[in-house]
Amino acid sequence: MQMKIRLITALFMSTIFMGCPASLSDFMEVPLSTADIAKGLKEALDLGTTEATEFLSAKDGYYKSAYKILLPEEARKVTDKLQVIPGFSNVEEIILEKINRGAEDAAKSVGPIFFDAIRGMSINDALGILMGEQNAATTYLHDQTYQTLYNQFQPIVISSLNKFNAVDYWADAVNTYNKIPLLGDVNPKLDDYVVQEALKGLFALVAQKEIGIRTDVSQRVTPLLQNVFKKQDPS
């Protein structure tokens, strides 16, 4: 008798849901809160930061990638002239390798700085960011935290540049250039420039991950990411 009751009940419930236009999962879905969306955005940024720092801190992460730090125009004036000076024939490539190796070394330490900035970030318009441009969360992170990140990252980069003798080597190159008659003295600083370019590469990779999560369902590797980002999927 109990078996018959269970069978009838199951058939009854099946009939109800078959006649319903929404699926069972849609029927049971709980609306996302602003807090949920903010947590999902931060989780996406965390993932992007992790992948960015792992990639860029590896050997050749900067030096032999699309994120290679090149010399600014003023510094190129120095390297171009020094190529005919004994001891500086390969000055440009030497300094490029040194500054990129320094950036790779510094990237090993930037993760916690990014994570703290992300967790402490107040997202005032979570829904607007979620439904915005494909890199909207990364842009918001940049706008809200860049100066803090820069201030904390700068001494790390300078320490790494010194580790690879980039600062002293560049100072010798500039001093040699300034001794050449009729050229005029220059003093192109590379430390702040390298900090800015290193951060540019990091933010570019974080944005790349955000775009991946928005456009590729397989990159939504947690239930939170799945629930949050499906809201911005095309219907």
Q: Which candidate, 173, 234, 227, places its Cα nearest to that of 41?
A: 227
Q: Say what the pTM is.
A: 0.81
Which pLDDT score is estimated for 235? 80
- How high is the pLDDT of residue 122? 86
Q: Give the residue from 90, 92, 80 showing the smallest Cα distance to 183.
A: 80
pLDDT over 50 (residue 6): no
CA 110 to CA 194: how far, in whole Å?
14
Position 133 confidence tier, pLDDT thresholds 50, 70, 90? very high
Is the model's pLDDT at 105 over the cut of 80? Answer: yes
CB atoms within 10 A of CB 83: 11
Q: What is the pLDDT of residue 186?
A: 80
Band (pLDDT 50/70/90 cuts) for residue 5 is very low
In the prediction, which pLDDT does 159 show? 94
Cβ-proximal residues to 94 (8 Å cutoff; 6+ apart), any chain: 169
pLDDT band at 223; cut points 50, 70, 90: very high
Say whether pLDDT at 124 is over 90.
no
Residue 30 pLDDT level (bands cut at 50, 70, 90): low
Query: How confident is the model at residue 153, as a pLDDT?
Result: 92
d(CA 156, CA 94): 21
DSSP E strand stretches across the chain: none
Confidence class of residue 224 from pLDDT cuts 50, 70 and 90? very high
Distance CA 119, CA 116 (A): 5
Average pLDDT over residues 132-151: 93
* pLDDT(117) > 50: yes
The answer, yes or no, to whether residue 99 has pLDDT greater than 50, is yes
CA distance 84 to 132: 52
Q: Count the neighbouring beta carbons within 10 Å of the beta carbon of residue 154.
A: 18
Contact 44, 211 (CB under 8 A): no
Domain chopping of the chain, boundaries: 33-232
Mean residue pLDDT across the chain: 86
* Close Cβ partners of 115 (under 8 Å, ≥ 6 residues apart): 46, 49
> pLDDT digits over 172-190, tens only?
998 898 888 878 888 778 8
What is residue 185's predicted lDDT score, i.e. its pLDDT? 82
Which residues, including other chains, have CB under 8 Å from residue 186's CB and lie 6 or more apart?
A: 74, 77, 78, 174, 177, 178
Judged by phi (left if over 0) then psi (alpha if -120 to 50, else beta), residue 9 lies in alpha
**pLDDT given for residue 45 in this prediction:** 94
Percent of the chain with pLDDT over 90: 62
pLDDT of residue 15: 41
* pLDDT higher than 80, residue 26: no
Mean pLDDT is lowest, of 19-28, 53-62, 193-202, 219-228, for 19-28
